[in-house]
Amino acid sequence: MNQHYTMLKKAVIVFHSYGINLSGQRKNDHLIQQLNMDPVFVNGLIFELEFQLQVIIQEEKLKNASTPREIIELLLDIPQDN
């Protein structure tokens, strides 16, 4: 559980660096359609999350994630090595 908290804290910092607020309903906004992010910046966001959290998100799972909440759920589903 402590690892999840650490991951969430780092993920929030990365999202905030891209100007994405995760409080309230904003976490459910579509990255491209509602938050008006360019797909290049979405790829940068994903890269930064993977780099900061030292994980790799599978491409096929990432295709279905279009909101910050869905991306965070993917991050929490990745098995952690102890």
Q: Residue 43: inside a domain, yes or no?
A: yes
Query: Would you call 52 helix, strand, or coil by DSSP?
Result: helix
- pLDDT value of position 26: 85
Distances (CA, A) of 32 to 36, 57, 60: 5, 19, 18
**Structure tokens given for 15:** 């999202």
Parent domain of 20: 2-77
In a domain, 51, yes or no: yes
Q: What is the pLDDT of residue 48?
A: 96
Q: Is residue 82 part of a domain?
A: no
Contact in structure between 61 and 74 (CB atoms under 8 Å): yes
Read off the pLDDT of residues 14-60 as tens digits, 9 standing for 90 and up. 999 999 989 888 889 999 999 999 999 999 999 999 999 999 988 89
CATH of the domain at 63: 1.10.1200.10
Measured CA distances, 43 to 1, 5, 24, 47, 57 (Å): 28, 24, 24, 6, 12
Q: What is the pLDDT of residue 82?
A: 40
Count of the separate structural domains present in the chain: 1
Q: Model's pTM, two decimal places?
A: 0.87
At residue 80, the pLDDT reads: 66
